[in-house]
A = this chain, B = another copy of it.
Amino acid sequence: MSFDTLQDQIRAMKNPTVAGLDPKPEYVPPHILQACYEQYGATLEGAAEAVYRFNCGLMDALCGIVPAVKPQSAYYERLGWRGMEVLERTIRYAKEKGFFVIADVKRGDIGSTAQAYSEAWLGKTKVGDTELSAFGADCVTINGYMGSDAIKPFIDTCKAEDKCLFVLVKTSNPSSSELQDMVAGDRLVYKVMGDLTQRLGRDTAGKYGYTLTGAVVGATYPSDLRELRRRLEQTFFLVPGYGAQGGTADDVRFAFNKYGHGAIVNSSRGIMCAWQKTGRDGADYQQAAQDAAIAMRDDIKQFVTVV
């Protein structure tokens, strides 16, 4: 599904946010962990199953309110292949529930290796005479340090499968400045990456005017965000850094164009860990996540009129 589909879903729900599914162990309510350890032992299988149940519970609570989910691959990989199996199931469940799925994998490799990654996450894998889906997400995050060789194979897969991607441009973390803010020629490095991203996607703009090559731009540097919004008019933004990392609704409003289009803001901790702030033991994690998601939507809506 392309950014057109995502923008349609954002408009339908009047909510330009995505819920991160980053199941750190301490985010999972104790009663879920305990039940899975009793059934499967304190094993990678048990931990993975707990993650799956938590994810499904969260998606049941967020369905119809939040248009997209973004599983972060690292928290599944740390559980080995059991975690990857649960990541496959999580993506399948998300799609059944109608969520747009962004696989946050930040892969970056070249040529046929980049093609293999794009098959894994967005496309299909040829086995004998058949083509099979591996992870089957709608969208991925990728890293362009290796240049356009690392981006083009993903673009080919996106064109063939009507999918889309986000390239890391200006990230929300404190040390992002070390490389990304260096002056390279007449531009900063992150602007070089932003320009490359938009250029590689040219001629792929959909009905809202966005190419299939989006950009990750953090909420924690609002002036950079504002400047990139002006510079990259055809580029859809994924905006991390809202909430726990310090970005506010006042900061993220710069990610949207004058029609309130062109960006989606992520929250992971704020939604997944909402149950830790209710003073109860996690039995209410679904209600707490839903309340937090609605509060985030309304917080951002005050500045952004999505039409």
Contacts and interface: CB of A to CB of B under 8 A. Distances in A.
A176 B189 contact: no
Interface string A124-135: 011111101011
Given A145-B143, A145-B145, A189-B184, A125 B88 contact: no
A116 B185 CA distance: 36
A149 to B, nearest CB: 4
A77 to B, nearest CB: 4
A42 interface: yes
A206 to B, nearest CB: 26
Nearest to A145: B145
Contacts of A196: 178-179
B42 A113 contact: no
Given A78-B117, A120-B80, A147 B176 contact: yes
A174 B147 CA distance: 9
Number of copies: 2
A22 B111 CA distance: 13
Interface in A1-57: 22, 24-25, 37, 42-44, 46-47
A305 interface: no
B85 A81 contact: yes
A42 B127 CA distance: 6
Contacts of A150: 173, 175
B110 A173 contact: yes
A178 B146 CA distance: 8
A219 interface: no
Nearest to A86: B81
